[in-house]
Amino acid sequence: MLPLIEMIARFLPHTVRRMLGVTDAAHPTLPTYCLIDQPGQLAPLLEAIERADEVTLDTEADNMYHYKVRVCLLQFLVGQEVYLVDVLSPVVLSRLWPLLAGKHLVMHGSDFDLRLLHDLCGFRAKSLFDTVLAAQLLGKPRVGLASLISDNFKVQLDKDGQRANWSKRPLTKKLLDYAALDVWYLPALRELLKRELVRAGRLGWMEQQCRAQIDAGSEGFAPPEENDWRIGKSERLRGAALGVLHAVWHWREDQARRLDTPPFKVCSNDLLLRIAHGAETGGSIEAILAEVQLGKRHERLIGSLAAAVKAGLARDPKTLPRRPGRDPNHQPLTQAELALLDRIKEDRDRIATKLAIEPTLIANRSQLSQIARAPRNVAEVLLPWQTGLLNETPSIKNASK
């Protein structure tokens, strides 16, 4: 039976329920927060971080709206206080990063955030608890933040902020509320997941996964390469089609940069490949572009696209950037290695089923291929917990003799 205050609160307005400290699935209690968007406002956050042993952190970026991704907002929960830092404001953050680098972080889905912060200022985390990694190691069927909050606290978080333009100013109260809730529940969620990891004997696995996540995040995002235009199944293209794909891919990059929008909002990879395939049949520029539609920008962009197709058709494919040399790890497997790969995969899948986790958490396809080439080198490919699981399987034991 519900406590009396909750029974009464069901019939009261939402604002009154919040004053009583009562929440429900449709209306989570919103934490108070401090918005830092002016010089001189950062000191309370710095002092709080300096006193704390751990900090809960999240970021919001504008990768859905601009050509070059930027950090737009930082969300911190330090103790019981939420701070929202407008990174696009005049606030100087140089004192923040060394303080933060000395603290244990609680995050959700940290891979993108850590790479983003590394590229922003060279940031590297000291230690980490990522609730996504914990949920995956526990075999949770849903690992998104909203799902985990709903499953554990019976609170429904608004997902609209995931699609918001975080670079637009001023930030609305609705978006700031969303941002605050992104960190508010994480410490409590961490405690629940940590207890489950301890019971399952997987806390050590979690620590290894988090260290690997920090290492990966400290590499930042991969820099542009001259062969980035080789998208999808472009290896099947020949002759003029390759020249056209190279030309229209760079056309899309130029337009996206000029318009300050993500390339996919200019046109899709599928459209670029369809144009290239059209060139492979020897059709005219008009025939190649006959069914191309570029949305609301069509009239402004179709002329420059036609010019790119023309340039691609005229280019000698031999002058295109050469493919990089083959990595020895990507040479085709021999028949014996393929057979071993299948046996290792069967053993991996059997273990994953027993543990009720995704098989790729133990080893993905690329890692399995590396192991099939050199079974004795499992520990060089996998983390210790993954190595321990696979080293005891018949496929690895027999192959290592």
Residue range 20-217, CATH number = 3.30.420.10
For domain 329-399, say whether CATH 3.30.70 is its number.
no
Task: Return the pLDDT at 14.
Answer: 43
- Residue 236 CA to residue 228 CA, distance in Å, equals 16
Q: Tell me the two tokens of residue 163.
A: 């699609």
Residue 84, strand partner residues: 35, 75
- What contacts 50, CB < 8 A, 6 or more positions away? 99
In tens, the pLDDT along 220-247 reads 999 999 999 999 989 889 899 999 999 9
Task: Return the pLDDT at 209.
Answer: 98
Q: Tell me the two tokens of residue 333.
A: 């497997």
Looking at the chain, which residues constitute the CATH 3.30.420.10 domain(s)? 20-217
Weakly modelled stretches of the chain, pLDDT under 70? 1-27, 325-330, 401
Residue 372 exposed, middle or buried by CB count within 10 Å (0-12, 13-18, 19+) = buried
Provide the residue count of the chain.
Answer: 401
Residue 128, strand partner residues: 105
Task: Return the pLDDT at 4.
Answer: 44
Task: Return the pLDDT at 331.
Answer: 74
CA distances, 60 to each of 86, 135, 337, 376 (Å)? 10, 22, 44, 43
Residue 345 dihedral angles phi and psi, to the nearest 5°? -60, -40
Verdict on whether the full-model pTM lies above 0.85: yes
In tens, the pLDDT along 13-25 reads 444 444 444 445 4
Looking at the chain, which residues constitute the CATH 1.10.150.80 domain(s)? 234-319
How far, rounded to the nearest angstrom, does the alpha carbon of residue 386 sit from its chain's CA centroid?
22
Task: Return the pLDDT at 162.
Answer: 86
Token pair 């914990």: residue: 134
Among positive and negative, which fits the CA dihedral 112, 113, 118, 124? Answer: negative
- Residue 168 CA to residue 172 CA, distance in Å, equals 9
- CATH homologous superfamily of 234-319 equals HRDC domain (1.10.150.80)
Task: Return the pLDDT at 123.
Answer: 98
